[in-house]
A and B are shown apart, each in its own frame.
Chain A
Amino acid sequence: MASNHLTGIGSESKQLATWYFTFAIILFGAQLLFGLVAAIQYVMPGFLFELLDFSVARMIHINALVVWMVFAMFGSVYWLLPDETGIETVGIKIGKLLYWVFVAAIVVVVLVYLIVQVGPADEMSIWFIHEGREYIEAPRWADWGIVVVALGFVANLFMTGIKGKQTGIVTVLMADMLAFAGLYLAGMFFTDNISVDQYWWWWVIHLWVEATWEVFVGALAAYALITIIGAKRQVVEMWLWIEVAMLFGSGILGMGHHYFWIGTPEYWWEIGALFSALEPLPLVAMFIHVLYDWGKETGLQMAEGAEGHAIAGHTITNKPAFTWIVLNAFGNFLGAGIWGFFHTLPQVNLYTHGTQFTSAHGHLAFFGAYATILIGMMYLAIQGTNGIKVLKHTKSSIAGIWMIAGGVMGMGIALTIAGYVQVLVSRAQMGATWAGYFDGQSGMWFSQAMDWRLIMGVVTFLGFAFLIKDFLSTGKNPVHER
Chain B
Amino acid sequence: MAKKSVWSDNRFWQRSAAWVTGFASILLIWLTFDTSVQIAMGTDADLQNGVTKRVPGPTVINYKITYEMSTARGHEVPVIGEKELFFGRDDYSEEEAGALLHLGKLGSQTKNCMNCHTLLGNGAYYAPDLTKAWLDPAWGPEGSMQAMTGKETKEEAMAEFLQHPSTYPTHARMMPNLGITAEEAKGLVAFLKHMSSIDTNGFPRNFGKIKGAVHGK
Contacts and interface: CB of A to CB of B under 8 A. Distances in A.
Contact of A262 (B113, B120, B206, B211): B120
Contacts of B109: 125-126, 131-133, 190
A134 B35 contact: no
A437 B129 contact: yes
B172 interface: yes
A241 B14 contact: yes
A192 B42 CA distance: 12
Contacts of B199: 263
Interface residues of B, number: 94
B103 interface: yes
Contacts of B110: 118-122, 125-126, 129-130, 132
B161 to A, nearest CB: 11
Interface stretch (A305-313, A349-357, A463-471): A349-357
Interface string A68-83: 0000000000000000
Q: Which of A132, A171, A201, A422: most chain B CB closer than 10 A?
A: A132
Nearest to B120: A262
Interface in A434-462: 434-438, 441-442
Contact of A433 (B28, B116, B136, B202): B136
B166 A432 contact: no
A253 interface: yes
A14 interface: no
Contacts of A164: none
A49 interface: yes
B111 A132 contact: yes
Q: SS class of chain A's interface: helix, strand, loop or mixed?
A: helix
Contacts, number: 271
A433 B8 contact: no
B170 A194 contact: no
A350 B205 contact: yes
Contacts of B118: 354
Contact-size category for A: 35 or more
Contacts of A122: 106, 110
Contact of A261 (B120, B123, B166, B206): B120
Contacts of B181: 120
B173 interface: yes
B52 interface: no
A441 to B, nearest CB: 7
Contacts of B2: none
Nearest to B113: A132
Q: Which of A194, A234, A241, A265: most chain B CB closer than 10 A?
A: A194
Interface in A234-289: 234, 237-238, 241-242, 244-245, 248-249, 252-253, 255, 259-269, 271
A354 B205 contact: no
B150 interface: no
Given A59-B115, A241-B10, A193 B39 contact: yes
Contacts of A477: none
A118 B101 CA distance: 19
20 contacts: A49-B166, A130-B112, A132-B108, A190-B106, A192-B98, A193-B41, A194-B108, A195-B198, A241-B14, A245-B13, A263-B199, A264-B54, A265-B34, A267-B31, A350-B202, A354-B125, A422-B125, A433-B211, A436-B210, A437-B127
Interface of B: 8-10, 13-14, 16-17, 20-21, 24-25, 27-28, 31-32, 34-36, 38-41, 54-55, 58, 98, 101-116, 118-129, 131-133, 136-138, 144-145, 166, 170-174, 176-179, 181, 184, 187-188, 191, 195, 198-211, 213-214
